[in-house]
Amino acid sequence: MIIYCSSPFAGDTSDQKLHQTMIKYIEDIGNTVLSAHSGKFSSSIPLTEKQMYKRSLKWIDGSKLMIAEISGPSIGVGFEISYAIFKRKIPVLVLCKDDFQNISAMLYGCDSHLLTLRQYKNIDDMKSIVNTFISKIDRS
């Protein structure tokens, strides 16, 4: 299955290693991940903002679902979540650490059946949540 993974790319990027671990896990269980964090899509020529925008939307358009880690705030990730749910109409799993206090009311208040919001305690908990979500979508 093709899965778009998103997390903060600018601003608070302190959890990038965690995101890379999540991406590797998703790939290890047999999926293709589209993400700026995967390292597979790096370019020797930096992309412009317009190119990054178009690439991200193209990746979302080509994905069956999206997984977003939001423990670091990011307007870009929020935009991608909205695009995936309301434009593409694909399921989105939003993850954050269980001690993260700043979850947007826009996410908590969203009543779309396509949005699943889960908090995790550690990487094993995150993997379990991701696996359950992917399995559920894969069966539908």
pLDDT in tens, 91-122: 999 999 988 878 888 888 999 999 999 999 99
Q: Where are the domains of the chain?
A: 2-139
Which residues pair with residue 116 across a beta bridge? 93
CATH no. for 2-139: 3.40.50.450
pLDDT digits (tens, 9 = 90+) for 38-90: 666 666 688 899 999 999 999 999 999 999 999 887 889 999 999 999 999 99
